[in-house]
Structure 1
Amino acid sequence: MSTYPVSDNDEERIQILNAFELMDTPPEHEFDQIVQMASRIFDVPIVLISLVHRDRQFFKARVGLAVCETGRDVSFCNHAIMGRDVFLILDALQDERFRSNALVVGAPHIRFYAGAPLVTATGHMLGSLCLIDNKPREIFSERDQLVLQDLAVIVIEKMELRRLELKNEDSLTRFMNITSTSPDAIICSNSKNQITSWNNSAELIFGHRSEDAVGKTLDIIIPQEMRSRHHAGFSRVVSGGPTSIIGKSVNLTALHRDGHKIPIELSLSQWTEAGEAQVGAIIRDVTKRVAAEKLLKHAAEYDHLTGLANRSTLKQRIKEACDAQIAAAILLIDLDGFKDVNDTLGHAAGDFVLRVTSSRLRKRVPTCHMVARLGGDEFVVFMAEIADEHKAIELGLALIALIEEPIEFQDNSIYIGASIGVSMRSGADYDGEQMLGNADLALYQAKSDGRSLVRMFTSEHRHTASKRGALSSSMRQAWANKEFELYYQPQVRLADGVITGAEALIRWNHPTLGVMSPAVFLPVLEAGLLAVPVGEWILRSACEQAAHWRNIGCDGFRIGVNLFAAQFRTRDFAETVESALNDFSLPASALELEITENIILRNEQRIMEPLRYLRSLGVGIAFDDFGTGYASLSLLKDYPVTRLKIDRSFVSGVERSKKDEVIIEAVVRLAAGFNLQVTAEGIETREQESLMRHYLCEEGQGYLYGRPMTAHEFTERYVSMTDDNLTYPIINNPQLPEQGF
């Protein structure tokens, strides 16, 4: 009993396959070209032309695979020949039919497979043209499937043509029998260039009836401008002279009866009959194929969504400029806020934004320069023969202003921004890959500096990136080795000096350097892939510690936790917070999440819903570093904020600057109007404390009360036990020693 599907007419199918005489034959250039082209078009490492025989499959052409055949029992292509549509497996490990297949669990580790059956004119499935990747895919579009089927048609046409050529070599009689049923035009002529045979397909392709064509010269299907070349070549063939086209397929242009030109594929054969040279031609109208190849070429060189040049075309253009030593500039453009469009309005809106953006870029960038889409929301402007960096920056600023114009989609006005990195090279100091890399580093700097900016690459960017990469690698190791630790800084009620809670702060306990300041590693951590898992660890660890202090008697103790922007990009952020509260039985009111204005501005659409939900549970929302951002006031009315934390820069200067006093007084009054609590950060002296109390700040935090410390130190210093209960110390009681940190 077979372990794989077999059609009812499998033996008949195998006989048809045998007739093609392709099994176990050496590679042939025409088939190899197709698999190589398919590999480039679909960006897959493995492409095969598989012929499925009785108990095995043979690869007539292959790229990316060393073996030339496998057993039929493990063949994906055996499944592909069971129907006429493309057989598609997006992830073999998720498919019960293939997850234990030897080609999945072992080399070549197939995860993605797409196979278009090779269908003969009689409807028999001989095998497939298949794409294979060791990585799964989320989608293989209908357009991709149609292109793959078109390529499969070309393969079967090549197979049919090869079979016909073999039969022509066998005998002229068999050749003549084929002419009446062949879908190709089959035309014979004598040594005088006169047509002696003209089949039905020739009538259909060229418009001349057989009785009108026979006896005429071949000139009736040859365009005027090509006739002199034809006469010379024909004379050479019939005289036995050297020729390079006999037995080969060549692409030419022919003439229809009504005068229009037809792209054809021509194969010639020559023999002698009754002592006279005869010439036979198999001609195929390849109009549809030429159109398909143009479509494929366009698909391989241009982005299907925007119509802009794609990555491969851009790199070729850059290489040409490099080879010619032409001065040039690259503007690497990344859209700001695009992901929010997809998340809130859907991918249809996102695609619309990309098309509008590409149209704006095309209209603004001079036609002598190339505009390309790298993928996602990244675009590139390549400016050849430009050595003036001011022109590049000027164009970049103009493009940002253009992109920031509102985009109307259905009933929505969509606002996005853009950041641009620029790199330039001239003369011999020029390398395409390096230029793109440099532009990417400059783009990173533009985003770090606040977005909606243009930054020109400098050598310092590469040095910074190298340090950042080394630090990121070290942090991954630190995370694995559990070198991160939470420190806690007390927060004090200014009216009576009682501790109300603490802010949890991450520290890196480096094995050789000791405890590292967050200023050294926090920016890299926040921008990297560790932000989400480390952020969740901070949240859960802080909740667990706060629950412990409350359980031993610290009623009303509140823990403050800072958030990374990346945490809001996860769809389950609110659920993560709620889970931490439930797991450690911590009341929602005992947790205060601290967010900065930058987090809000970068996640404006997605941040609102989870914050409102958490606030409905009772979680506090503190606006950290308040007063340092330009949009703070407008954000207060929209976000569920419960506390403002006055930035330390205002508190530390309050003894010397009247302006700082005015700002603090204004913030406190503003908070009162919004019914918000206020915490002053960075209090270091009794005078600062007195001034904050004077301005009615409810709480304070700073070195006057204690530096950030471990949970153990915090417990020993600030949590005291009595026989009856646990109490907080009064930090500013004169009887207590002042904290001299």
Structure 2
Amino acid sequence: MITAPLPLDEDLRLRALQRLDILDSDPEEAFDRITRLAARAFGVPVVLVSLVDEDRQWFKSHYGITACETPRSMSFCAHAVLSKRMLVVEDALDDERFLDNPLVLGAPLRLADGQVIGTLCLIDTQARNFEPGDAEALADYAQLVERELEVRRQLIRSRTAHERDRRSLAISEARFTTVFKETPIGNALVALDGRFMDVNETFSDITGYDEATLRTLTFAEVTHPADVASDVALTAELVAGKQSTYTTEKRYMRPDGTAIWVNLAVTLLRDAAGLPLHFIAAVQDIDTRKRSEEALRNYHAELEERVRERTTELRRRRDALQTITDNLPVLIAVVDRDLRYRFNNETFRRVLSTPGSVLRGASVRDTLRAEVFERLQPYFTRALAGERVTCDEVRYRADEDRVWCTTYIPAEREGKVTGFYVMSHDVTEQRRTEQRLRENALIDPLTGLANRRALEEELGATLAEASPFALCFIDLDGFKGINDRFGHDTGDALLREVANRLTSTVRAGDFVSRLGGDEFVVLSRGVTEAASAERIAQAICQTLARPVVAGGQMVEASASVGVLLHDTDETGVRPDEPLSLADAAMYEAKRAGRNTWRMARAAPRAALLPQ
């Protein structure tokens, strides 16, 4: 292969790499995690975090290979370092620079100062296309590596700064005695018991006490009562070694009883053995600033409260939205023009019971059940033609009675449809709820029979089919007296028993319904002869005439039945007309003495009603 020439700023680049103190360091999980995730995300066998040294490329993390370094002369990454941008070689055999090198892709690793010290490399054993979206994803992974490198650089800088501060402190201690008195900041040496050992003139001016008086007092005695506890706690932490210094804002009480705000910085001086000697306190007068801040806080108090309330509301809405989206039963996939999956989310893979590595690139035809694919193929065609389409009922698995509402959204790039997005929502419970609501709307809650609405739908469908039928309109005899004598609970029990007897008496395919009160209707399809209709009515009268045990009472009841025979020659009949005629015939049966039936006459209902 062709060796990459050295960058013009090679010396600066090498110094930046060496300052990281990372070469030949032990493996770190932070880098290894990134290479593992990148290998899974891009489906490649090898991923490297490669750092290009003077004469080698050394791998801080190497997923998929055991080698820790290779010569720079055969380094693909050296070309990426030279170009300082992402370098993609989709087929190394077609590029004279890499004929004998298997590396195919590298994203540069750039430090904060702009120096490129290596690459995040993807290695594959075969040529492959690399889409712009993949390049963006790889750049994101490279930024994760760069962030870890920046953290390392910051740690080194912090250690260097700490050492510099330590040396500065030694110099400061040597000069302390000289500058203690002359500094414009209030200084004080305080014993471990809180007694003032020495103060400068500025400290006396701030507190209002002269030096002689201060030497007779402790810091707690000149501190505002509300600030003493926190001040004592902080000094205790210094003595315990929990911290080496602290800074706080507190109030001193002057001899005239006024309070003054100061910024207090305290350091504990220790001897060579580490034992505490005394405190060094530096004090600045911030009373004017504190009073200005207090005035500003009061001025903006209402505004800040409103901001807090608004922030709380926005956070609550954001959390609610996050919770909703995290729990949506949504299947998401991306399909190309060849009907092959390019992306699937975890829900999609779980529903299809297929690992993600197998599903990516798989044919939609081979993945879905044959009947599902045949049903959805027209939707695929329309989506690839640029149309957004939705299939309201998709059943992905034969072993689950789950229903999905699936939307296919065209995916476009530069004005051309490159495939489509798949978004499926689980609507199983919605369908079940709709079915339950429909059933509840058509069922009589007391008897469990079909109600008036269900009867009207059934009667309308029967008339539309032009099928012959017999219609029996049933009204219990003396039901009001039973209710009045035994109570409504007994009446309800009687109605339930009537429903059971009617269902057991008529044919298996007959439609039994309760209109309301003590009125029932039986619709018998296929009955063409009056004799057959009368036999049904007779059986109804006989079964309802038998005594009934209802609500613990022996109840004797009977029924009057009006029978309508409808043949196919009658057209244009409304559903309410057969009911009206059968109702009129039922009243004839009641006039005839009850517990009997009468056949309806093809006459207006008004002529059949009692006068």
TM-score, structure 2 normalization: 0.42
Highest CA radius of gyration, 1 or 2? 2
TM-score, structure 1 normalization: 0.35
